[in-house]
């Protein structure tokens, strides 16, 4: 449908148009990484002026919606690879709308963001409470990524259309919104994020028994909201923290249990129910525990840990 003459573009249309122009002018520079299990490709792109951006492309899971399946069958074009008796192997070309790439375009980017998405060998870090104080906290204070986008969401200056639920309480409340990696439609890879309103809590390391009411609130109200809006039962949802998190303002991930989301397994994720249980047993559990996680070779935090433990 054509836009009426003189009609102004919406903010969403303007940003989409700007991003489209940026992508059209971009040149491929480097494959930062690929993940065959998640059908993902991370590309470093550059502009004529030397600025850079990152395109994260992910193949979407199949929809289980009846109309989508019928459309797939109607439009499928088979290209035979081999056949043996009743077993045939084919490449299938389907309608483009059924084969979309869920993507993120990040621009402009700096060296730290490029390093974040560059695929490299990983190593295990065992972070004692002492190492958290002497290594991780200084790292967070000096190198954490800008949190403006988080505050924009909490203050409803952006991504308002992605809000699933909000508890506005300043102490125990949170904003539940669709994660940028989810299209908001395909339930099979549902991914929503609960970001707390309270400032000052960076990760599970900051949590104590005094925060249990907030954690109960996040868990119970988020699971109810997801059920009411998307129809998934609480035992079909995985809820967890990342450690280390990708940004240091406390948040909880909620995904469809069917979805094998990146960084949702051991060495990256700590289940919300486990955090609650640990704090119920010991109020200062995360103040006195050794936490294990992985970092990429060349990562700044990895370098700082190696320097701190080199003589031990």
38 a catalytic residue? no
| Cβ pair 164, 218 in contact under 8 A | no
Binding residues: 149, 159, 179, 181, 242-253
Tokens 């490449």 locate to: 91
Please state, as a whole number, how many other Cβ atoms lie within 10 Å of the Cβ of residue 87: 7
Binding residues for substrate: 149, 159, 179, 181, 242-253
- Which is the catalytic residue, given 38, 197, 199, 251? 251
Q: Which residues are paired to 192 by β-bridges?
A: 178, 254
| Cβ pair 194, 251 in contact under 8 A | yes
Give the integer Cα–Cα distance in Å for 240 and 274: 9
What is the separation of C-alpha 13 from the centre of its chain, rounded to a whole number of angstroms? Answer: 24
Give the integer Cα–Cα distance in Å for 168 and 165: 10
Give the integer Cα–Cα distance in Å for 263 and 265: 6
Catalytic machinery residues: 251
């Amino acid at each position: 449908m054509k836009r009426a003459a003189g009609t102004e573009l919406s903010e969403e249309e303007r940003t989409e148009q700007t991003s489209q122009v940026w992508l059209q002018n971009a040149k491929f520079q480097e494959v930062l990484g690929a993940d065959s299990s998640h059908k993902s490709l991370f590309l470093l792109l550059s502009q004529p002026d030397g600025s850079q951006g990152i395109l994260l492309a992910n193949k979407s899971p199949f929809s289980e919606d009846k109309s989508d399946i019928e459309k797939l069958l109607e439009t499928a074009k088979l290209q035979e690879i081999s056949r043996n008796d009743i077993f045939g192997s084919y490449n299938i070309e389907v309608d483009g709308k059924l084969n979309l790439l869920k993507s993120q375009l990040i621009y402009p980017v700096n060296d730290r963001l490029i390093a974040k998405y560059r695929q490299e060998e990983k190593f295990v870090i065992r972070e004692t409470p002492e190492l958290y104080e002497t290594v991780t906290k200084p790292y967070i204070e000096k190198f954490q990524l800008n949190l403006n986008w988080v505050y924009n969401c909490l203050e409803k200056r952006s991504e308002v259309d992605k809000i699933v639920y909000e508890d506005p309480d300043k102490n125990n409340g949170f904003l539940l919104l669709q994660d940028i990696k989810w299209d908001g439609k395909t339930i099979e890879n549902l991914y929503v994020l609960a970001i707390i309103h309270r400032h000052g809590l960076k990760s599970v390391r900051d949590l104590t028994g005094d925060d249990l009411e907030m954690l109960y609130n996040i868990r119970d109200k988020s699971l109810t909201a997801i059920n009411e809006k998307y129809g998934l039962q609480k035992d079909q949802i995985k809820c967890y923290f990342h450690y280390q998190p990708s940004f240091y303002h406390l948040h909880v991930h909620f995904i469809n249990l069917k979805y094998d989301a990146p960084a949702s397994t051991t060495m990256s994720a700590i289940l919300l129910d486990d955090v609650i249980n640990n704090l119920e047993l010991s109020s200062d559990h995360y103040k006195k525990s050794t936490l294990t996680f992985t970092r990429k070779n060349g990562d700044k935090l990895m370098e700082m840990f190696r320097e701190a433990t080199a003589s031990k």
